[in-house]
Structure 1
Amino acid sequence: MPIVGTPRANQAMPREGISNLFSSSKPLSPSYSFPSPHIRFAPKHTFSESMMEENLEIAESIITRWDLNNSDNTVPSLFHDNRRESVEFLKSVKDLRRAMDFFISTNSNSDKLVLAQNLMQIAMKRLEKEFHHILSTNRNQLDPESISGRSSRGSSTFDREIEEEYPGELTTEEGPISELAMANLKSIADCMISSGYGQECVKIYKLVRKSITDENLYQLGIEGFRSAQIQKLSWTALDHMINNWLTAVKVAVKTIFRGERNLCDHVFSASHTIRESCFSDITKEGAINLFRFPEMASRNKPSTGKIYRFMELYGATFELWPDIESIFSYESTSAVNLQALSSLVRLGQTIHNIIAAFESTIQTDSSRTMVPGGGVHPLTQSVMAFISSLVDYSKILSEILSDHPLPNNFPMPESYFESPGQGDGPTPAVPLHLARLILVLLCKLDTKAELYKDVSLSYLFLANNINFVVVKVKLTNLNYLLGHEWFSRHARKVEQYASSYEALAWNKVFSSLPESNSTGTSVEAVKGIFRKFNAAFEEAYRKQTSWVIPDRKLRDKVKVSIAKKLTPAYREFYDTYLGMLSGEKNLGVLVRFGPDDLENYLSDLFHGTVVSGSSSSSSSSHSQGCLPR
């Protein structure tokens, strides 16, 4: 049955009857328009009837020239060279349709109606062939890229184009071939639909364009993915497919599907129903298959290393979501939108689960292996590397994490950090989640610090690790997300831990020197002070030669702080009392260090030149404790 146009049920004879006419020995020709010689008095013609008969004669002369059964017709295409011919042909079909409507309303048994129906079939068969020919021979010109940027909404109707003699598009050969082909396809489609032959036109269009669309998707590497097939792939193979999909999806949406939508809207602008049907049947299967892939990929066993690919899949789909909604806006293509949305939801849940699992891994880390010399723990390095890498996906994460609030059993400390530009409003999801991960790490570091037997070394360990966190924040966009207050608070913690280390590790050395020089100090007392200082300094130096401060700035800062407290006090004592020992035979043994020697010795510290260390279950007094898991 025809889709739109003049219903064939209203025609004087069904197609079966018309086909019987083709086998009749009596030829169908314009002579049937004239009265029979056996009629004594010819009926009086009205002006309208005369006009319709004239239209029929003109249509017959034009249409029969393009009859596919005419062996004399050797021109390959009506729309190929002489565009005036195509204008006349389409106009004759329009006039023929008007004549048919007139004859049906005045005399449904008229021989003229039979002739008109016969001519209409000849014309439609010709247009079917032309339609298929244009679609097939212009595959490269009608490629999605050349039409994806075109908008066909509001294009003129077939009737308007006929009455205006198809200005521009059909009467000139200027302009891109794709535009001429699109104009010709639209003109044929309008003509066939208005003539009641839309079904034949649509069948050809769907067949040709679906094959082109499927081929284009296949060339992009988009195949009929199956969940079981995806799950069996190694991560290397799946990662390769993800990379290919990320490249293909933008082309598929913005070029292939957008181009096909524009072409459908242009060619079948006369009928909303037809363009929806065509676009849906041509693209729906391929589009659903395209957007099903991210959901299937997200079912692969999750891990922190895979989260970046999953976020790229999410980001690509999310970025294209406005285009997806716009292109697949028909009710019949709503399944495409639902599939894309389903992939976003599934990816978002997978990404959140990976972050939650990562946090759990930090909390449950029970390794008692100490870092030699109180250096930066591998856990600190891995956690901060992961967190800082997440910042590059903060826009994507904000969409995902906003739907996953933090659990109430892990409250954040009041005013733990401020987020720039937020004022008194709620803290955005991304800074809140990342700050939480860092807080979990800091709590775990407190536990790790308790493994060191030497309390001063445990403080150095905390200073090193928190400094690593602070520097990582400063050098990445974490600094912007967490805010100045967060950075300043944790930078002060580094200073506090470094000061605590210094006080505990060097207090014995500092206290070996008198607080002030007293003029009544005896020679024996001076000797005792030198011996006490030598022993304390040698012990501190020997123990700390294996300790490390990896960060150069922090290392220099600690050295300068120790030197400022130690060297001036020792120099003053040294300069004041060395003369009292001038008569000593073993002066070099008694006074082992000059003031300048101390700075040289200090300069050798914190490079970890000697590897040693011990552990104990004893707790250090600085432990801050962890928030509940």
Structure 2
Amino acid sequence: MDTGKEKSNIPEKSQSFVSRNNEKDEKKEGNQPDSDQNHPQNNEITTAEAQEPPPDGATEVEQDNVAGEAKQDNVAADPETEIKEGEEATDLKNEESSPLPPDLNKVSEEIDQYISNLSSSKQDDSNPPDVPIFVEHFAVLVEAKIEDYDYSDSPVKWIQLSKEDSTSFLDSVNRVCRLSSALSEFSSEYKYAYTINRIDGVLQRAMSYIEEEFKSLLEDHKLSDLDHNNNHSKPRQSTSSNPNQDAPEPGPVEETNSPGYVDENLSNLIRLSTAMILGGYESECRLAYFVARRNALDESLHKHGFEKHSIDDVQKMQWESLEREIVAWLKIFRQCAAVHFPSERKLSNAVFSDYPLISESMVSCLSRNMVIQLLTFSKAVAMTKRAAEKLFKFLDIYEVLRDVLPTMESLLSEEIVDELKTETSLIRSWFADSMISIFGELENSIKADSGKTPVPGGAVHPLTRYTMNYLKYACEYKDTLEQVFREHQKIDRVESATGSEFEYNPEAQAQNANNEAKQSPFQLQMMKVMDLLDANLDAKSKLYRDPSLSSIFMMNNGRYILQKIKGSTEINSLMGDTWYRKRSSDLRQYHKCYQRETWGKLLNCLHPEGLNVNGKVVKPVLKDKFNSFNKMFDEIHKTQSSWVVSDEQLQSELRVSISNMVIPAYRSFLGRFSSVFTPGRQTEKYVKYQAEDIETNIDELFDGNAAPAGRRRV
């Protein structure tokens, strides 16, 4: 039992009991002034009289008085009965004097009228009315309702409330807000100080609960999927070990007003945000919304492979790891304008449907936060050490920064767009400088490749393969590189040279100078790289002692270069038809040089000069010619079977041209002079090959495998 409660109730009951008995004593004394209550006889008489029926004609009041006096006499005669009945009477009187708890609906109507009265008083500039007791009743009732929901141990979640309960709660909170606002107009009035603090306390308690439930609902979302949208970048091949994958075909996109939130949660978010804003808690509402959505966006970035890294972390990454991060970054940045920002705008417009300025501010802040985070990563990548293998990822980042930002302009405020433009332009310039420097380093690497070991078999040099593949892939970004070199290339570039063998051809230099006004900066850069490669290959061809092998080397590399250019529309358009025809002509010259150096000398053995003397064939001279031919052909076959011509078309062209050059001449020589020898052993000794044997051996050239010569067709 609560002792405090017991003590507090005792005086009230005692006072009621004494008052009631005093009133009855006064009545009794008025009716029987001479009676003595302590005299037994009087008690008996009084009791007997009280038990007799009232006389006829007595009034109703008199009858009541008589009954009351009789009852009083009975109580006086029995002390225990007197105490018991006194307590019952006290309880009855307390029930009659203590009203039932006020009804919230009724009090709410009184509050609405009171708010109206306060507004009228303010407008009439009259004395404000006193604070009625029902204001306190209203505060108590609303506070009790908040207490029912906001238990410290196990608060009632908003989604657990029925529609009726949640609506009633928000109506009450809205009424508290309006009451607080109306009372604040009289903050200078002393008599309102307590009430203002009281109502503000109730409002703060309600808003604390609403804010927590608002946060909880915001966190109850599903991550959006980036992969259902188109990847707008054009597909390219890549020299990277982890090339960009083409985006899968998009499926049907489900249009919703609140991506990630079910309709019920969205409806509750709208109601709670409106309550907070009307209650003067706009800043808390905005902060809760911003933090929750920022965390959701960060979670989405993490889900799709992008992690937050400091600039120092990026600088320390190995390129393979950084390349994977860049791939994730590219995917996410492209989706910002296509997925994230429109989704955030839809959600914000829905949650703050009655407050467009707040919605716009939320979208801008969230978008800016996300873009700045992504830009920080790209800035860190731009600050890494330059290397040739980074060119293509640098180009990808450059293009995304260039192309995506304009699509964001309609989604962001003008102020934020201007800020992002400035930041993006700076980062792009860093990437542009890096890319231009990479091409400068490519030039230097070509010049510095001065190895003195020739490639076996005259095959395509690794420098040629690397350079042409590099340029081919680079030219897939032709338009972007044109822009980079046009907008960012430094006017005064330092030209470096490492040796006289790399000097330009004077005619080519003069031609480039004449056409410089018509050529783009990137086109000039490509021409320069190709000229350096030609000069390097020419120097390497001189490492071969055999002029024929030197020609094969130049044909192999020249054909490889032309095939790469022919297979790429972008690089072909840059180099132009004139350049292509010039290189094709050079290739034919190498071919003629090879035929002259190899097969021209062989055919000299078949020349009839000196064979006829006085109309007769000089047999010793004929024997020498056959011996020389056989020996030379064996050596050619043995040597050039180990040479390499990897391009099948060039290999076929060489074999056909050799056959067309050698076989008719040999067949003619054989048909004319083979009969000079005595049939049998002598013929077999000097006529080692038939024409078909020569053709078979020619078809074995340039396979890269030495083959024994002298095989005769059976």
For normalisation by structure 1, the TM-score amounts to 0.68
Is the 8 Å Cα contact of residues 307 and 354 (structure 1) preserved in structure 2?
yes
2:439 to 328, 352, 355: 355
Alignment pair present for 1:568 and 2:664: yes
Aligned to 1:539: 632
Pairing 1:420-431 to 2, within 5 Å after superposition: none
Alignment pair present for 1:291 and 2:378: no
Shift in CA distance, 319/344, structure 1 to aligned 2, threshold 3 Å:
same
1:495 to 556, 573, 588: 588
Q: CA offsets per residue over residues 444-470 of structure 1, 9 Å max, x none?
A: 112222233333332222111101212
Is the 8 Å Cα contact of residues 210 and 276 (structure 2) preserved in structure 1?
no
Offset, 1:498: 0.6
- Whole-Å separation in 1 of the counterparts to 2:518 and 2:194: 78
Aligned to 2:80: none
- Whole-Å separation in 1 of the counterparts to 2:686 and 2:614: 17
Offset, 1:500: 1.9
Offset, 1:138: 4.4
Aligned to 2:213: 133
SS at match of 1:453: coil
Offset, 1:346: 2.3
Amino acid at match of 2:584: A
Shift in CA distance, 369/207, structure 1 to aligned 2, threshold 3 Å:
closer
Q: CA offsets per residue over residues 327-350 of structure 1, 9 Å max, x none?
A: 554535765554444433323322
Shift in CA distance, 33/328, structure 1 to aligned 2, threshold 3 Å:
closer
Q: CA offsets per residue over residues 307-355 of structure 1, 9 Å max, x none?
A: 3343344445445334554555453576555444443332332233222
Shift in CA distance, 471/576, structure 1 to aligned 2, threshold 3 Å:
same
- Of Structure 1 and Structure 2, the greater helix share is in 2
Alignment pair present for 1:589 and 2:685: yes
Pairing 1:337-356 to 2, within 5 Å after superposition: 337-356=421-440
- Whole-Å separation in 1 of the counterparts to 2:187 and 2:546: 114
Offset, 1:480: 5.0
Is the 8 Å Cα contact of residues 352 and 401 (structure 1) preserved in structure 2?
yes
Is the 8 Å Cα contact of residues 666 and 691 (structure 2) preserved in structure 1?
yes
Aligned to 1:368: 452
Offset, 1:557: 1.2
Shift in CA distance, 102/361, structure 1 to aligned 2, threshold 3 Å:
closer
Q: CA offsets per residue over residues 220-278 of structure 1, 9 Å max, x none?
A: 56555233333333334434444454455456665555544543444345556644654
Q: CA offsets per residue over residues 361-409 of structure 1, 9 Å max, x none?
A: 1123222221233222222122223223334444554443443559787
Q: Whose Rg is larger? A: 2
Alignment pair present for 1:178 and 2:262: yes
2:530 to 406, 423, 438: 438
Aligned to 2:79: none
Shift in CA distance, 283/33, structure 1 to aligned 2, threshold 3 Å:
closer
Q: CA offsets per residue over residues 415-469 of structure 1, 9 Å max, x none?
A: 88xxxxxxx9955665554444233211211222223333333222211110121
- Whole-Å separation in 2 of the counterparts to 1:412 and 1:276: 60
Offset, 1:201: 2.4
Is the 8 Å Cα contact of residues 311 and 393 (structure 1) preserved in structure 2?
yes
- Whole-Å separation in 2 of the counterparts to 1:235 and 1:264: 39
Aligned to 1:552: 648
Is the 8 Å Cα contact of residues 463 and 498 (structure 1) preserved in structure 2?
yes
Pairing 1:424-503 to 2, within 5 Å after superposition: 433-477=525-569, 480-482=572-574, 485=577, 486-503=579-596
SS at match of 1:403: helix
Amino acid at match of 2:663: T
Aligned to 1:168: none
- Whole-Å separation in 1 of the counterparts to 2:455 and 2:196: 97
Alignment pair present for 1:198 and 2:282: yes
Is the 8 Å Cα contact of residues 66 and 73 (structure 1) preserved in structure 2?
no
Is the 8 Å Cα contact of residues 509 and 537 (structure 1) preserved in structure 2?
no
Shift in CA distance, 81/428, structure 1 to aligned 2, threshold 3 Å:
farther
Pairing 1:55-454 to 2, within 5 Å after superposition: 67=143, 70-71=146-147, 76=156, 82-83=162-163, 122=202, 125-127=205-207, 129-141=209-221, 143=223, 177-194=261-278, 196-218=280-302, 222-246=306-330, 248-250=332-334, 255-256=339-340, 259-268=343-352, 270-271=354-355, 274-275=358-359, 278-279=362-363, 284-285=368-369, 287-329=371-413, 331=415, 335-394=419-478, 396-405=480-489, 433-454=525-546
Aligned to 2:694: 598
Shift in CA distance, 484/219, structure 1 to aligned 2, threshold 3 Å:
closer
Is the 8 Å Cα contact of residues 124 and 197 (structure 1) preserved in structure 2?
no
The CA RMSD over aligned residues, in Å, is: 5.1
Is the 8 Å Cα contact of residues 59 and 95 (structure 1) preserved in structure 2?
no
Is the 8 Å Cα contact of residues 139 and 198 (structure 2) preserved in structure 1?
no
SS at match of 1:382: helix
- Whole-Å separation in 1 of the counterparts to 2:335 and 2:604: 74
Aligned to 2:20: none
Is the 8 Å Cα contact of residues 459 and 498 (structure 1) preserved in structure 2?
yes
Is the 8 Å Cα contact of residues 371 and 377 (structure 1) preserved in structure 2?
yes
Aligned to 2:248: none
Amino acid at match of 1:493: D
Amino acid at match of 1:374: G
Using the TM superposition, name which of 236-245 and 598-607 deviates more.
236-245
Shift in CA distance, 571/118, structure 1 to aligned 2, threshold 3 Å:
same
- Whole-Å separation in 1 of the counterparts to 2:156 and 2:448: 78
SS at match of 1:301: coil
- Whole-Å separation in 2 of the counterparts to 1:552 and 1:35: 99
Q: CA offsets per residue over residues 477-531 of structure 1, 9 Å max, x none?
A: 5565447725444333322211221122222223343489999874444652552
Number of residue pairs the alignment of both structures matches = 541
Offset, 1:105: 8.4
Amino acid at match of 2:389: G
Aligned to 1:166: none
